[in-house]
Amino acid sequence: MASVKLEDCSQTLELNVNIKDEEEEEKIGKSVSHGDHVETFSTFSKQQQVDHKAKRSHHCPHCEASFSILSKLKIHLQIHTGENLNSCTDCGKNFTTSKALTVHQRVHIGEKPYSCSDCGASFSKPGNLKTHERIHTGEKPYSCSGCGKNFSRQESLKL
C-alpha cells in the first residue's frame, strides 16, 4: 500500500493506492485532482512536498490559486478577465481551452466515444469509463485513512 500525501495551500489530500510490486511502486506516479488542476506525484517525502509548494511562485491576484508555470497562471486569469474564453453556443458556459469546450459539448450532442469492453456502456470522458470499469474488476484503489475501508471512487472518501 503506497500513500501519497499532498499538502497544497490549505488542503491536505491523501491517496492510498494498492500496488502489488514494490519496484512498480517506485516507477508509478499517482495523479491527484484538486481544484482546477491535476498534480502527478511519485511517493514524495515531506521535503519534496515543501519544495513543490515553494515552486508555485506565480500567484493569481484575484483568488488564492498559484502556479509553478507562468503560462498556467495566464490561462487561469482568463477565468477572471473573461478574455479569450471559449464559449459553448448551446448553454453559454465558458472554458479556458478549446479542448475543455469540446469535451463539454459532448453533453449537448450526446457523444460518448468511450465504451466498456465488458458491458458496452458508453461514456463521454475516459475517466468516467475507467471509474465504471472498476465495477467489473472490483478494484478499489482509494482507502480511507480513518477507517481503512476501500472505495472505487475518490469522491466516496469525502464525508
Q: For the chain, give every domain's residue range.
A: 1-55
Categorize the per-residue pLDDT at 145 as very low, low, confident or very high, splitting at 50, 70 and 90.
confident
Q: What is the pTM of this model?
A: 0.47
Query: Average pLDDT, stretch 47-73?
Result: 76
Degrees (nearest 5) of the Cα angle 15, 21, 25? 40
- Choice among 28-37, 43-52, 63-72, 73-82 with the minimum mean pLDDT: 28-37
> Does 35 or 55 have the greater pLDDT score?
55
Angle 76-58-13 from CA coordinates, rounded to 5°? 75
Residue 135 is predicted with a pLDDT of 94
Give the largest CA-CA distance in the chain: 49
| The pLDDT value given to residue 158 | 75
Integer Cα distance of 56 and 93 in angstroms = 28
Nearest partner of 127 among 101, 154, 96, judged by Cα: 154
**Ramachandran bin of 20, using left for φ above 0, alpha for ψ from -120 to 50, beta for the remaining angles:** alpha
Give me the mean pLDDT over the 10-16 stretch. 41
Grid cell, residue 134, equals: 472498476
Q: Across all residues in the chain, what is the average pLDDT?
A: 73
pLDDT tens across 105-138, in order?
999 999 999 999 999 999 998 999 999 999 999 9
